[in-house]
Amino acid sequence: MRYLYCFLIFMFFSVSSAYTQTASEIPLENPEVLKPDVRPKGNVQQNPDMTLDRLVAIVRTIDAEAQVRGPAMRLAIEDVTVTVITDAKNNRMRAFVAIQSLDGINQQLLYRLLQANFDSALDARYAIAQEHILSVFIHPLKELDKNQFIEGLGQVVNLVKTYGTAFTSGAMTFGGGDSRNLHRKLIDELLKKGEQI
């Protein structure tokens, strides 16, 4: 128990120091830095709410042959079939891939999946449903940004492709965890496709 307590304190200070800005980093010679921005925003438009129609347009930009049936879609990304299900009434969206059945899965692998969920899976996650291990990205629908959705799809596919090896979504690795490898290429390629929308 003492070791767990020491580890948690270490993690807290490691994460806190990464986000803390010291007073010496604030340029005091420029007082404007300390004043809030009160300039009028003009015609700056907020991102509109994500809708099923917008989501379908993004999916079809990534895969022109994507199947759409009501609030559900299926698209292929690098030979991986991703299912996207929306629920406008409850403001939810989930994109997922079933990786494999739970048959024969041992405790060591499940332990490794939980490690990855902490530091290298990031926005996408490994999960269990319907007796299968899944790669899944879940987000409120209305607040979902186009690039968030595209990155989420890329992370889901990366978790499938690195399952059993690096267990990474490819975006980045959170410090203090047990995973270190990066696989960013697929996400950047998908974001480039998304620039057409």
Is 19 part of a structural domain of the chain?
A: no
Cβ–Cβ < 8 Å for 177, 120: yes
Q: Tell me, what's the pLDDT at 41?
A: 52
Those residues of the chain that have pLDDT short of 50 are 1-40, 42-45, 174, 178-183
Each residue's pLDDT tens digit, 125-145:
999 999 999 999 999 999 999
Q: Tell me, what's the pLDDT at 26?
A: 36
Distance CA 192, CA 184 (A): 13
Is 11 part of a structural domain of the chain?
A: no
- Tell me which residue range forms the domain holding 134: 49-194
Q: Tell me, what's the pLDDT at 168?
A: 87
Is 68 part of a structural domain of the chain?
A: yes
Q: Tell me, what's the pLDDT at 191?
A: 78
What one-letter code names the amino acid at 18? A
Cβ–Cβ < 8 Å for 98, 175: no
The contacts of residue 104 (CB under 8 Å, 6+ apart) are none
Q: Tell me, what's the pLDDT at 184?
A: 57
Q: What is the CATH number of the domain that holds 125?
A: 3.30.1460.10
Handedness of CA 82, 84, 85, 91 (dihedral sign): positive
Q: Considering its fold, how many domains does the chain have in total?
A: 1
Is 35 part of a structural domain of the chain?
A: no
Is 12 part of a structural domain of the chain?
A: no
